[in-house]
Structure 1
Amino acid sequence: MTRADLSKSPRDVAAMFDGVARGYDRTNAVLSVGNAALWRIATVRAVDPQKGERVLDIAAGTGTSSAALAKSGAEVIALDFSPGMVEEGRKRHPDLMFVQGDAEKLPFADGEFDAVTISFGLRNVQHPQVALAEMHRVLKPGGRVVICEFSRPPLGVLRAGYHAYLRHVMPLIAGAASSNPDAYTYLFESIREWPAQPELAQWLREAGFERVGYRNLTFGVVALHRGRTPDSTAH
């Protein structure tokens, strides 16, 4: 496709990410003004992976987040829909297990994982609620989910400034830093159209998660959502 839209056709989204795989991490670091690394640290802390646990990292891209999670000693599976991202990830992190797969049809059995996480990928899924249900399915009882995603700054003045940055500044940076600026045009639009924090929290509850909560990072530009599957030992 020549210009990304919000139809989120799985084939088009995969092709879009194939085209930016090699320079993806570098471009993200530039566009986030260095905050991407801080958001990743916060996400790893929220997941709190432990040695011996199995963790699924969905929309793992080139594996930067997966590698950070694996430092704990947990077994981390890096899943991404884009063949280009998976290929690049395997080159960069040969010690990690990469799987090409669809977040809406996870290629795993029920109750396989202690934790599931997805960073900046849920809004690129065609049917996010279906993906949340799949995350719930592959988690063990008492398993935890952590979603790091762009969100809406609650303060109007910050929200207006952020949207101006998305609309006017980011396209210029992406044009200079990315091999496929059209892909980032799609990403900007998807950020703008994504629901606010309370709505995503409600989606988690509807998927069956308990103890759902969220906290804002960088004044709400990004939000960390958390939840747990019901613990079968609870009475």
Structure 2
Amino acid sequence: MGLGSYWGEVIEVLRQIIPIYDKVNSYISLGKDKEHRIRGITNRVQPGNHILDAGSGFGNMSKTAEKICDGNLSITLYDPLVPMLKNTGTYFAKTPDMSCGVFEHIPFKEEQFDAVLCGYSLRDAINLRIAISEIHRVLKKDGRFVIVDLGKPDNPISRAGVSFYLRVILPMIAFAVGGRLGLKFGTLYGTYKRWPQNKKLEGLILEKFSRVEFEQDLMGGAIMVAAYK
């Protein structure tokens, strides 16, 4: 499971949509992206933690965690796109560490982080099982793995509804907000097709982690997950 050979196309699209990335994401999530990040992170990241924001993009997950913890965090941003990292701006209390790479080869030693955050990024893994294993490796004992992402509902009717939204409605919203460049968000449906259903994703995570808290919203089309090492 994972994007496999489709990964290169997805990364190139992400590179192109950097100028409108945050704006369009807010609209296509029906304005719930911030709420879901807060729900996923609250009580899972603690003041003083060392966190890895994996597939960080502009660092929205760690920015949220920093606000929750009053700036008392050590943050490392990790993303395959250098331009994303360069566009993090001055939104952090102090400039975070940054590193470039993929989920499947995380360049950090074992048991280094208290929490690993993946906001709308784990879905873009080349190999999902290897990505989860690598995240488990770099987490400390009792570390937390927090995922906020699209969900693929187990219920077939809900799943059809979410698929229709992503395939038909989302491109129209993205075009209205981001113009012709917004149409490239249609690639998101391709990542969704390769994403496991919610119950299967939970099972994959439990292959490595001892416990999983799996919360859903929008008919299962949005998930907030916390896995404990």
Q: TM-score range by the shorter chain?
A: 0.7 to 0.9
How far apart are residue 24 of structure 1 and its match?
A: 0.7
Cα distance between partner residues in 1 of 2:107 and 2:40: 24
Do 1:117 and 1:146's aligned partners in 2 also have CA atoms closer than 8 Å?
yes
Q: Which runs of 4+ in 1 moved over 6 A?
A: none
Name the SS for the 1:104 alignment partner: helix
Cα distance between partner residues in 2 of 1:225 and 1:90: 27
Cα displacement string for residues 157-208 of structure 1 (whole angstroms, at most 9, x for unaligned residues): 43333222222211112223236345311112222331111111111122x2
Name the SS for the 2:56 alignment partner: coil
Name the SS for the 2:103 alignment partner: coil
Residue correspondence of structure 1 range 1-235 to structure 2 within 5 A: 7-45=4-42, 48-71=44-67, 72=69, 73-90=72-89, 93=92, 95-178=95-178, 180-181=181-182, 183-206=184-207, 208-229=208-229
Name the SS for the 1:191 alignment partner: helix
Name the SS for the 2:137 alignment partner: helix
Amino acid at match of 2:228: R
How far apart are residue 30 of structure 1 and its match?
A: 1.0
Cα distance between partner residues in 2 of 1:100 and 1:79: 6
How far apart are residue 21 of structure 1 and its match?
A: 1.4
Do 2:20 and 2:182's aligned partners in 1 also have CA atoms closer than 8 Å?
no
Q: Which consecutive residues of structure 2, in runs of 5 or more, have no partner in the other structure?
A: none
Do 2:17 and 2:181's aligned partners in 1 also have CA atoms closer than 8 Å?
yes
Do 1:10 and 1:126's aligned partners in 2 also have CA atoms closer than 8 Å?
yes
Cα distance between partner residues in 2 of 1:162 and 1:124: 18
Aligned residues: 222
Name the SS for the 1:180 alignment partner: helix
Amino acid at match of 1:67: K
TM-score, normalised on structure 2? 0.87
How far apart are residue 154 of structure 1 and its match?
A: 4.3
**Quick one: structure 1 residues 90 and 105, their matched pair in 2 at CA, closer, same or farther if it must change by over 3 Å?**
farther
How far apart are residue 10 of structure 1 and its match?
A: 4.5
Do 2:13 and 2:187's aligned partners in 1 also have CA atoms closer than 8 Å?
no
Question: Percent same amino acid at aligned positions?
Answer: 27
**Quick one: structure 1 residues 9 and 196, their matched pair in 2 at CA, closer, same or farther if it must change by over 3 Å?**
closer
Cα displacement string for residues 1-58 of structure 1 (whole angstroms, at most 9, x for unaligned residues): xxxxx55554433322121112111100111111111111112215x22222101111
Cα distance between partner residues in 2 of 1:12 and 1:156: 28
**Quick one: structure 1 residues 84 and 43, their matched pair in 2 at CA, closer, same or farther if it must change by over 3 Å?**
same
**Quick one: structure 1 residues 82 and 69, their matched pair in 2 at CA, closer, same or farther if it must change by over 3 Å?**
same
Amino acid at match of 2:216: N
Cα distance between partner residues in 1 of 2:145 and 2:87: 26
Q: Which consecutive residues of structure 1, in runs of 5 or more, have no partner in the other structure?
A: 1-5, 230-235
Cα distance between partner residues in 1 of 2:16 and 2:54: 19
Cα displacement string for residues 113-158 of structure 1 (whole angstroms, at most 9, x for unaligned residues): 0111211111111111111011011011111111122112344443
Amino acid at match of 2:185: Y
TM-score, normalised on structure 1? 0.85
